[in-house]
Amino acid sequence: MNKKTIATTIYILGICCVLFFGASAVIGGNTVSNPEAMIPFTEFERNIIILGIGFIPMIASCFFMLSAYRIKNRTKKILVFIPGIATGIPFIIGACFVVYLLFLGMVDVMGMK
């Protein structure tokens, strides 16, 4: 298979995932998918977490798309990276939340107030 075909296929698959989970987050709202779980997530929270997890593969597919088509135009580069940015925002928020929880745990263990 051609490098451009593989890049396009992976990129389109990533865009479909971003659109599906983004739309599910907006439409799902506050319905709890499993109320008997230890941490019951709403549909919105679950889909945002999945979008954050998909940040690394989506950014990789964006870079692969740029290298396969040798895109030099700045506007086209920005358009290619829009799905990566859409998954990057939940990733950064989730990473900040994890660091905050680790900081709170460290403060609690060390006895600082």
Question: What's the pLDDT score for residue 2?
Answer: 94
Lowest mean pLDDT among 27-31, 58-62, 73-77: 27-31
Give the mean pLDDT of 31-58: 91
**Does 9 score more than 70 pLDDT?**
yes
Distance CA 106, CA 36 (A): 30
Question: What's the pLDDT score for residue 108?
Answer: 84
Question: What's the pLDDT score for residue 75?
Answer: 96
pTM of the model: 0.85
**Does 32 score more than 80 pLDDT?**
yes
Question: What's the pLDDT score for residue 83?
Answer: 96
Residue with tokens 């506050």: 30
Distance CA 15, CA 82 (A): 10
Question: What's the pLDDT score for residue 113?
Answer: 65
Question: What's the pLDDT score for residue 69?
Answer: 95
